[in-house]
Amino acid sequence: MTTQQKKSSTRQGFKTGESIVYPAHGVGQIVAIEEQEVAGMKLELFVIDFEKDKMRLKVPVAKAVTIGMRKLSETDFVDRALKVVQGKARVKRTMWSRRAQEYDAKINSGDLISIAEVVRDLYRAENQPEQSYSERQLYEAALDRMAREIAAVNKMSETEAVRLVEANLNKGPKRGKAIDDEDTQDEAA
């Protein structure tokens, strides 16, 4: 199996040095485009580094789009995701194991809006009951995934991005000090 670096740096609309979102791992950076020979066939691969996870992934160029690899979201899409976390949590009344699977699928979808929905639905303010260990793990995974993309798009640190998400979460209903009259009526019905 031989490997050789390619001089040309753009394939399928992606280029070396560019940050991308890979559905199962979040934000990574394309560091090279390689050509490898596998079973007598030449295969072009994106070499993607996920610095925070200390991981390197090689993705066939031809499969990149079909597996859901995408460019970073535009800033207006990030703003939409931040609006989603301000919304009222929507928790289905199904078994936790089923909901956990759905949350996990949303986190690994690579879709920023779906990830924002998980963050919104699993968020707990200080004045709310504790989360279970598995709820906390899913919440932190979703928050981390969302914060990494926001940090990359807005060119800020991940810590600043987490603070931005949490500030938007606290603008949501019944999370801050003000409780809307509508919300209390909904629960009474």
Q: Where are the domains of the chain?
A: 3-71, 75-176
Q: At what angle do helices 75-86 and 133-154 cross, to 10 degrees?
A: 150
Domains 3-71 and 75-176 share a fold: no
Contact 54, 72 (CB under 8 A): no
Mean pLDDT of the chain: 85
What pLDDT score does 39 carry? 87
The fold for domain 75-176 equals: Methane Monooxygenase Hydroxylase; Chain G, domain 1 (1.20.58)
- pLDDT tens-digit readout, 16-69: 999 999 999 999 999 999 998 888 889 899 999 998 888 999 999 989 889 999
β-pair partners for 34: 5, 45
Angle at 159 between CA 157 and CA 162, to 5 degrees: 115
Residue type, 84: V
pLDDT for the residue numbered 78: 95
pTM of the model: 0.81
Using DSSP's 3-state secondary structure scheme, residue 120 falls into: helix
Per-residue pLDDT tens digits for 121-146 = 999 887 778 889 999 999 999 999 99
Q: How far apart are CA 143 and CA 122, in angstroms?
A: 10
More confident residue, 15 or 146: 146
Which of 128, 121, 130 has the alpha carbon at shortest distance from 169? Answer: 121
> Which of 29-38, 95-104, 106-115, 126-135 comes out lowest in average pLDDT?
126-135
Residue type at position 23? P
In the prediction, which pLDDT does 31 show? 94
Query: Among 3.40.50.720, 2.40.10.170, 3.40.50.1360, 3.60.21.10, what is the CATH number of 3-71?
Result: 2.40.10.170
- Residue 177's pLDDT is 42
Rounded Cα distance between 123 and 105, Å, is: 18
Q: What is the pLDDT of residue 178?
A: 38
What whole-number percentage of the chain has pLDDT above 90? 61
